[in-house]
Structure 1
Amino acid sequence: MEQHHIRLTASEIGGLWTNYVTDSMFICIFQYFLQHVEDREIQQILEHALDLAEQHIQVITKIFHEEGHAIPLGFTEGDVHVSAPRLFSDEFFLFFTKQMAKGALVTYGGILALTFRKDIREHFMSCLSSTMELFNEATDLLMSKGLEVKSPYIPYIEQVDMVEKQHFLAGWFGDQRPLTAMEITNLYTNIQTNHLGRTLVTAFGQVAQHEDVRSYMRRGKELASKHLEVLGKFLAESDLPIPMTWDASVLPESKAPFSDKIMMFMISLMSASGIGNYGFAISASPRRDIASTYSRLFAETALFAEDGANIEIKHAWMEKPPQAANRAALMK
């Protein structure tokens, strides 16, 4: 019986396109990291990460060719200068890899839930399983080197109890209840994301070629520092430790390893991750003062991301993603 060809849906095209562009960026980044890494164990992690990104590009290229869909431009060897001086420490290479793997797990899981064709499902299931392996390897190495920053410890629950007062939701005035485990988790996650973002904009602000990009990176550092202070205050008020900073991992170099285009895309990716994290944290924070704080930080990050997109458009760095047909224009 003849098999009917199943076209790709919008969610499948969008997922593949995003996967291609993002991994083309990671290929550039990991090629540069590998040029400078000295620790052999970290080198093996970076080699694994690079290999996964290259495999994904090959699979998506084949699918798009078979479908007659244009291959995204993404990022190429012209966007990376592997011979540029070292800008980050080996430890940062490892931190970065784990954080990117953690973000990729969320992204792949979301895309997989919206795929239908068997080969596309298999691709994103493979992406999930291989990225989980990379995540575990990076975490194990961070743990073995004593570099992993764990979320805070809290007491075990000895007996089940029920919320009896509406004060559980309060937070603006008077005594505040202790943070819940999920509130602590989201504060920890968002502090880590902002630390990583601040480290990147600090480095990129040193080496960017365009003044508007350098100014944008300086603004990003100020924003991340402000958010770290706001979020860290909630942990400090509960006598909980605040995750460490990685700013010391940026070396005082001024020669750019990456194009301004790829650095702006990386920060747009971090902004999108931050917006998503804040949105989830709002839904998981019963205390009204915490939820309202996240709402404010969400809005500030969204505005920062929009201004970054405007810079990318100004310099013709933003590749147009797949879109629906413009029926209104076709009917004129």
Structure 2
Amino acid sequence: MESRIIRLTSAEISTLWTAYMNNSMASCVLSYFVEKAEDQEIKSVLEFALSVAKKNVNGAKVIFEGESYPIPKGFTEEDVNLKAKRLWADTLFLHYVDQMAKSGFAAYGMSVALSSRLDVREYFNDCLDLNQEINNKAKNIALSKGIHVRPPILSYPEKIDFVKEQSFLAGWFGDQKPLLASEIMHFFHNVQTNAIGKALIMGFSQVASSPDVRDYFKRGKEIAIKQIKVFHSILQNEDIPTPMTWDSEVMNSIEAPFSDKLMVYHIALLNIMGLGNYGMAISTSTRRDLIKEYMRLSGEIGLYAEDGANLMIKHGWMEEPPQAVDREKLSK
């Protein structure tokens, strides 16, 4: 009864719309991965993740239909070519699912917190539970195959201690304190997400049909390379091991498995995820030099994301997200 009386809030419309768009894209990507996967254990995770993406699309659609709210176009079978040659190796498929599930925790968790209506909260709680199941399945298989990349191990302290000097917050000049465990965690995670993004965009740059889209992807690859080098340099200066990249998982195919529209949207999504990750890293950093570095890198991603949005508008690919009514326009 509640859902029939109370209209959707701006937060609910926004998060449902985003969930529909992202899961419709994921359905296309995962259907191609399932078609090409040869390792049966990895394929089973991909099939489960695909079923979840389709379920999430349908769940959002049902709520929108109940409100007579326009269903987004999103992405369809027109945006994927299952017959295209293999563009990435099976291990990249598995790492991709693992990384996307990590981002799902933040997105769905926030969506639950911002939702008021019971049916919407139930939808996002279900999304969150299924996302956790995907994460567990992917991680367990990666561990069993010896390809799960663990964060660095730190020595245990002998006792608790307290900060005694203001220099704990320094970083630009003089002696620098060692990285905190939380700072290492974020550097490690950001290297991984950039490495996955780099492997994806390398493949996209090989198969994109539009010259301007291909150039955009090449530029994105260079940005990923630069940012990975920054994170590697900081970790190496602290004698902390750096995670691997997955460049070798990209095949030499030049046959596009996805439409240019889907690929540009996917990179836009990775840009949003990257900015969110950097924002979280800034919030837990205590060294000013690290905060400055993250802000510089965020600015670079922000400019790249803006160019991607302009590219989508140029080609007529950007679906207009929910927004407030323009009262001034209506009054004319």
TM-score (norm: length of structure 2): 0.98
SS at match of 2:306: helix
Rounded to whole Å, the distance in 1 between the matches of 2:3 and 2:96 is 44
**Which amino acid counterpart does residue 213 of structure 1 have in structure 2?**
V
Instruction: Determine if the alignment matches structure 1 residue 155 to structure 2 residue 155.
Output: yes
Corresponding residue of 1:128: 128
Ranges in structure 1 where 5+ consecutive residues have no aligned partner: none
Corresponding residue of 1:36: 36
CA gap of 1:258–1:4, structure 2 versus 1, over 3 A, is closer
The 10-residue stretch of structure 1 (184-193 or 169-178) with the greater mean CA deviation from structure 2: 169-178
What does 1:47-62 align with in structure 2 at a 5 Å threshold? Answer: 47-62=47-62
SS at match of 2:271: helix
CA gap of 1:84–1:169, structure 2 versus 1, over 3 A, is same
Corresponding residue of 1:184: 184
Instruction: Determine if the alignment matches structure 1 residue 259 to structure 2 residue 247.
Output: no
Corresponding residue of 1:16: 16
Identity of aligned residues (%): 48
The 10-residue stretch of structure 1 (242-251 or 54-63) with the greater mean CA deviation from structure 2: 54-63
CA gap of 1:100–1:293, structure 2 versus 1, over 3 A, is same
TM-aligned CA deviation for residue 2 of structure 1: 10
CA gap of 1:300–1:115, structure 2 versus 1, over 3 A, is same
Write the deviation string for residues 240-264 of structure 1: whole angstroms up to 9, x where unpaired: 1110000110000101000000000
TM-aligned CA deviation for residue 63 of structure 1: 1.1
Contact 2:2 2:118 in 1 (8 A): no
**Which amino acid counterpart does residue 52 of structure 1 have in structure 2?**
V
Rounded to whole Å, the distance in 2 between the matches of 1:64 and 1:108 is 18
CA gap of 1:3–1:238, structure 2 versus 1, over 3 A, is closer
What does 1:268-307 align with in structure 2 at a 5 Å threshold? Answer: 268-307=268-307
SS at match of 1:174: coil
Write the deviation string for residues 242-290 of structure 1: whole angstroms up to 9, x where unpaired: 1000011000010100000000011000010111111111111101111
**Which amino acid counterpart does residue 124 of structure 2 have in structure 1?**
F
**Which amino acid counterpart does residue 181 of structure 1 have in structure 2?**
A
Instruction: Determine if the alignment matches structure 1 residue 101 to structure 2 residue 101.
Output: yes
Rounded to whole Å, the distance in 2 between the matches of 1:3 and 1:296 is 44
Aligned Cα root-mean-square deviation (Å): 1.2
Write the deviation string for residues 38-87 of structure 1: whole angstroms up to 9, x where unpaired: 01101110010010011111111111111000000000100000000000
Corresponding residue of 1:145: 145
Contact 2:3 2:117 in 1 (8 A): no
TM-aligned CA deviation for residue 157 of structure 1: 2.4
TM-aligned CA deviation for residue 296 of structure 1: 0.3
Runs of 4+ in 1 over 6 A off after TM superposition: 1-4
The 10-residue stretch of structure 1 (12-21 or 173-182) with the greater mean CA deviation from structure 2: 173-182
TM-aligned CA deviation for residue 4 of structure 1: 6.3
Q: How many residues align?
A: 332
Contact 2:2 2:117 in 1 (8 A): no
Ranges in structure 2 where 5+ consecutive residues have no aligned partner: none
Corresponding residue of 2:168: 168
SS at match of 1:81: coil
